[in-house]
Amino acid sequence: MSDSKESKPTYLREVQITFKKKRVKNNSPVGKPVSHSQQVYDLFKDLQNETKEKLIAISLDTQAKIISFEIVAIGSVKSIYTRPFEVIRSAIALNADSLIVVHNHPSGDVTPSEADKEFTAALKEITDKGGMTFYDHVIIGDDAYFSFSDARIIR
């Protein structure tokens, strides 16, 4: 037996960002500036068919064109948990200028909960401090949506 100890290899994680294509309808706002909440609803209204809450972050460039979107979290039938910083993670990596958040309410009722309001306020604070514009938080329900921007809850 040898007295020398064999050392285990040490690893360092390398981050890679990869993109996956998602087919969208011909009239989608992809490649065009997103100027109102209806465009977000039209692009993500299929969320109304989900049985669990999903939170999606949409990253935009300096001209408010969509760079990408990320499903940040999947929750339960009536709640979702994620930290506001996780929402901006991919936007930072992509050097996005601005952000829109969208999530669904499987109940169909688009009325924002107190948790939705608190989360939106926390996200607005983080994006303001980080120099990123937070345009909107859209809640999708049964053939309807709620926009925090349209309701003037965020500006």
Domains of the chain: 37-147 (3.40.140.10)
Strand order in the sheet with 133-141: 66-74, 54-60, 98-104, 133-141, 144-147
The 10s digit of each residue's pLDDT in 79-134 is 899 999 999 998 998 999 999 999 999 999 999 999 999 999 999 999 999 999 99
Find out whether 36 and 138 touch, Cβ atoms under 8 Å: no
Q: What is the pTM of this model?
A: 0.85
133: Cβ contacts below 8 Å, ≥ 6 apart: 97, 98, 99, 127
How much is the pLDDT for 4? 59
Please report, rounded to a whole number, the percentage of residues in the chain having pLDDT higher than 70. 94
Q: How confident is the model at residue 2 (pLDDT cuts 50, 70, 90)?
A: low
Amino acid at 92: I
How much is the pLDDT for 138? 98
Cα angle, residue 42 at apex, residues 41 and 45 outer, rounded to 5°: 65
Question: Per-residue pLDDT for 15 more than 60?
Answer: yes
> Hey, is 38 helix, strand or coil?
helix
Q: How confident is the model at residue 154 (pLDDT cuts 50, 70, 90)?
A: confident
Distance CA 124, CA 134 (A): 6
